[in-house]
Amino acid sequence: MVNHFARPGRGGREANYAPRMPSPPAGLCDSCRHQQVVRTKRSSFSLCRRWKEDARYPRYPRLPVLRCRGHEPAPATGEDDCSISAGGPRG
């Protein structure tokens, strides 16, 4: 039996990783200036930065968000890039 999800360096087998699935659409959050995408090795999360000032907004909303009173379109120039990676730089 072949383990298609074997990790490299385990038992001398070559790794056969499953292809990485794209993140599901976040609805309105994808076009909102308050969205911050938090990426980890295994997943990504859509964080709403409005939760800091207003408790009515969830920190991590259920996706896809179809209606939101706090939605504000993101700048088209790309100057408000809020993607971060969890864990920070490794050195």
Per-residue buried b or exposed e for 28-61, using 16+ beta carbons within 10 Å of the residue's own CB: bbeebebbbbeeeeeeebbbbebbeeeeebeeeb
What's the pLDDT at 65? 95
Closest CA to 86 of 50, 51, 32, 37: 37
User: What pLDDT, in 10s, does the model give residues 33-76?
Assistant: 999 999 999 988 999 999 999 999 999 999 999 999 999 999 98
Torsion of CA 28, 36, 25, 6, to 10 degrees: -170
pLDDT tens digits, 13-29: 555 555 555 667 899 99
Domain boundaries defined on the chain: 27-69+80-86
Contact 51, 59 (CB under 8 A): yes
